[in-house]
Amino acid sequence: MRDTLHTLTVLAVEQPTPVRPDGMEGVDTGLGYLAWGLTIACVIGVIVTAILMALQHKHGEGGKHAGSLGWVMGAAIIGSSAGPLVTALL
């Protein structure tokens, strides 16, 4: 038997440069406003949760708003990673 060498030829395919369609400037502006709105909402959520936690601590209660902080932080993580997640799925 003769040993045969199988070679795999990989063709170098040039990836196209992404081009934004015309008229998308308004969409970019809208998404930018939504991203800033999310950031502001998350900062306000953290501040409100911290205030409520401080008030509970002063009254001898505690722990009820720790879950709220988790939800706010989760929203911040999901919101900030929305763009990269969608890009990865496409």
Which helix (DSSP H) or strand (DSSP E) does residue 70 occupy? helix 66-80
Give pTM, 2 decimals. 0.62
* In a domain? residue 22: no
* In a domain? residue 23: no
The range of the structural domain enclosing residue 62 comes to 37-89
Residue 4 pLDDT: 56
pLDDT in tens, 32-62: 898 889 889 989 989 988 888 888 877 777 6
* In a domain? residue 47: yes
Give the separation between CA 31 and CA 18, rounded to whole angstroms.
19
Residue 47 corresponds to which tokens in the numbers above?
A: 């501040």
Give the separation between CA 47 and CA 24, rounded to whole angstroms.
35
